[in-house]
Amino acid sequence: MTNATLPFVLALADKGWQQALRDDPHFLPGLNVHAGQVTYQAVADAFGLESSDPASVVRG
């Protein structure tokens, strides 16, 4: 499992979470909320809120 997750951990450590999410779309499903915007549909549904596209939110 370490071999599978280490590249992701290193990307987060080296780039910071925002740049890592911009560079690798595989991180985006792990983002739930950013800058007051809900980016995960299940979370939005649970709280009766609208969701935003995580890629758009991270790009700013």
**pLDDT digit string (tens) for 1-55?**
889 999 999 999 999 999 999 999 999 999 999 999 999 999 999 999 999 999 9
Rg of the Cα atoms in the chain: 13
Model-level pTM? Answer: 0.79
Domain holding 24, by residue range, is 2-59
Query: Are 36 and 42 a contacting pair, CB within 8 Å?
Result: no
Cα separation, 37 vs 14, in Å, equals 25
Cα of first residue to Cα of last residue in the chain, in angstroms, is: 33
Count of domains for the chain: 1
Class of residue 54 by CB neighbours under 10 A (exposed 0-12, middle 13-18, buried 19+): buried
